[in-house]
Structure 1
Amino acid sequence: MNGFEKRAEQLKAKIRAAVLTMLQTCEPKHIRIADIAAEAGVSQVTIYNYFGSKEDLIRDVFKQYVTEQVTEFERFIGSGPTFQQFVQFAVLTDKDAFRKFTPEFIQQMMSNDLAFAAYIDEVTQQTALPLMTRFIDDCKKQGQISDKVSTDMIVNYINLLMAQSHRLLEQAKQSGKGEQFFEELLHLFFYGVCGMEPEV
């Protein structure tokens, strides 16, 4: 990468970081290119040159976030975690997403942006679920997950939750306790209503 390319990537990173910060408190429709430019310390022309439009920029930011999370998930699974460690990882990941993006924004991206929704589905089906399936199989072999529930059923349950993601996001918002909502949801998923967390 030459000096010009390096400078361009640095500017793009500043712009993405500015948008990510703004999305924590603002809906996309309330964010203006002028506000992004001021936050990032760049000109509006620079933003248009690199990203084309506000919509394309916001999509790029969210897509990069998802890609980074998938990469981190791959790294984490590759480290050979226990089931308990995986639950903790999942809780922290959901909390991080809830802090960075409002439920309305996530709903909008998944409902109104067909290209982005297709990207999420592709990442889920080709990367996340295969990794999850192998992890579940390993945990079952090690006695960390009950043999009474098949891997296919667990994956089907995950797909069921994903299909209801919009409703779950709305309920998380209405609860006023978004992070706690997802923590309880994950506990319910992994340990059931009567199940107890294994001792560490």
Structure 2
Amino acid sequence: MNGFERRTSQIKDKILHTTLRMLRTSDPKRLRIADVAKEAGVSQVTIYNYFGSKEALIREAFIAYFDQAIRDFETYLNEGHSLREKIERIIYMKTTYSDYSPSLIKQLLHDDIELARHIEVLYREVSVPLMIRIIREGQATGEISPDVSIENALVFMQLYMNQYELLLEMADKSEDRDTFFGKMAEMFFYGLCGRR
């Protein structure tokens, strides 16, 4: 990468990071290119030259965000964490949804077909194989029963993830969010009756 390409990449990254930071507190519909340009210290023309439109900018920002979240999770998987830690990370989406509300993500995916397609491909081609790897590793170490099929384990994890917004609301209403999620993890692993 030559100096010009490196500078272009740095400017684009700065614009994308600024956009993501602003979307933590701003509704995407109210986000203005002028505000992003001011925060990022670039001209509006620069943003339009790189991204073409506000919608494309938001799309590219979230594509970069989700791609990075997957890369971070792959790194996490290779760091020697326990099966429980790995599954908790999946269920509670500590990387993906911690910065943005589930309702915002749903709205973005509803409004932007290209972003939805990208996330679907990422889920099907990267996330599911990673979850299958975790399940197989857990079965190989005896931490997951060999009687549990990969399909059943995936469905069970998906049930939790589909209710993430509700779990988050309930955790926020509880006295201690960490304790709430800790108890949910206990039930995930051991059910209502506890360990056998």
TM over 0.5: yes
2: CA distance, partners of 1:176 / 1:45: 43
Cα gap change, 1:103 to 1:138, in 2 (>3 Å): closer
* 2:127 aligned with 1:128: yes
2: CA distance, partners of 1:28 / 1:185: 34
SS at match of 1:29: coil
2: CA distance, partners of 1:90 / 1:148: 22
Cα gap change, 1:30 to 1:111, in 2 (>3 Å): same
Could you tell me whether the CA contact under 8 Å between 1:27 and 1:104 is conserved in 2? no
Q: Give every structure 1 segment of 4 or more consecutive aligned residues whose post-TM-superposition deviation is greater than 6 Å.
A: none
Could you tell me whether the CA contact under 8 Å between 1:15 and 1:36 is conserved in 2? yes
TM-score, normalised to structure 1, is 0.81
CA RMSD of aligned residues (A): 2.8
Match of 1:74 in 2: 74
The alpha-carbon deviation at position 18 of structure 1 amounts to 0.8
* 2:194 aligned with 1:195: yes
* 2:37 aligned with 1:42: no
The alpha-carbon deviation at position 88 of structure 1 amounts to 4.8
1: CA distance, partners of 2:50 / 2:172: 37
* 2:86 aligned with 1:86: yes
* 2:104 aligned with 1:105: yes
Match of 1:142 in 2: 141
2: CA distance, partners of 1:26 / 1:44: 18
Structure 1: state its 5+ residue gaps: none
The alpha-carbon deviation at position 107 of structure 1 amounts to 1.1
Aligned length: 191
The alpha-carbon deviation at position 159 of structure 1 amounts to 4.2
Residues 116-173 of structure 1 deviation map (CA, whole Å, 9 limit, x = unaligned): 22221211111111121122112112111123422221123334555x46xx43x356
Q: What is the one-letter code of the residue matched to 2:9?
A: E
Structure 2: state its 5+ residue gaps: none
Structure number with the bigger relative contact order (C-alpha 8 A, sep ≥ 6) is 1
Q: Percent identity?
A: 38
1: CA distance, partners of 2:108 / 2:60: 11
After superposing the two structures, state which structure 1 stretch, 24-33 or 177-186, moved more.
177-186
SS at match of 2:29: helix
Could you tell me whether the CA contact under 8 Å between 1:37 and 1:43 is conserved in 2? yes
Match of 2:32 in 1: 32
Match of 2:22 in 1: 22
Q: What is the one-letter code of the residue matched to 1:13?
A: D
Q: What is the one-letter code of the residue matched to 1:120?
A: I
1: CA distance, partners of 2:37 / 2:183: 38
Higher relative helix content: 1
Cα gap change, 1:116 to 1:79, in 2 (>3 Å): same
Cα gap change, 1:22 to 1:185, in 2 (>3 Å): farther
2: CA distance, partners of 1:173 / 1:33: 31
Residues 54-87 of structure 1 deviation map (CA, whole Å, 9 limit, x = unaligned): 1111111111111111112222223443212314
2: CA distance, partners of 1:27 / 1:41: 21
1: CA distance, partners of 2:77 / 2:147: 23
Residues 16-47 of structure 1 deviation map (CA, whole Å, 9 limit, x = unaligned): 11111111111101110111011111110110
Could you tell me whether the CA contact under 8 Å between 1:82 and 1:139 is conserved in 2? no
